[in-house]
Amino acid sequence: MKIDGGCYCGEITYEADVDPEKVAICNCMDCQRMSGSAVRSNVYVDESDLKFLTGKATEFIKTSESGHKRAIGFCGNCGTALYACNADGEPRTYGLRALTSNQRDQLVPKSQYWLRSRPAWFADLDSIPGLQTQ
């Protein structure tokens, strides 16, 4: 499935050919802190199927508990989180932040990780009253 997308300010844009089955939610605490959100949804794509059209993401190198290095890519101008990937020199597999895509509604998560880190209130989101904003 062809997708395209980019960051909030428009400096970084990409297009990719992804498998819509490879969409997963990450509930880990690193994602929570880095995104400022309860959960993060990723679509996993090999570097050969992802092309950055404009701009270049700033990368923060994170060392995971297992010792692996991960590059966390974001827009240096507007701060939009764009991806995480291996940073060890091997061909990259990107966890592209699915909601930065213009086809976000079609990228429905099929699985989720780190459920034990999910905020307890998130499981019952529909019980929180909705306020009319528009």
Minimum CB–partner distance for residue 4 and Zn ion (Å)? 15
Minimum CB–partner distance for residue 96 and Zn ion (Å)? 13
Q: Are 118 and 27 in contact (CB under 8 A)?
A: yes
Cβ distance to Zn ion smaller for residue 14 or 16: 14
122: amino acid identity, one letter: F
Footprint of Zn ion on this chain (CB under 5 A)?
Answer: 7, 9, 11, 26, 28, 31, 75, 77-78
Cβ distance to Zn ion smaller for residue 9 or 115: 9
Q: Are 98 and 15 in contact (CB under 8 A)?
A: no
Cβ distance to Zn ion smaller for residue 26 or 98: 26
Among 120, 93, 125, 71, residue whose Cα is nearest residue 24: 93
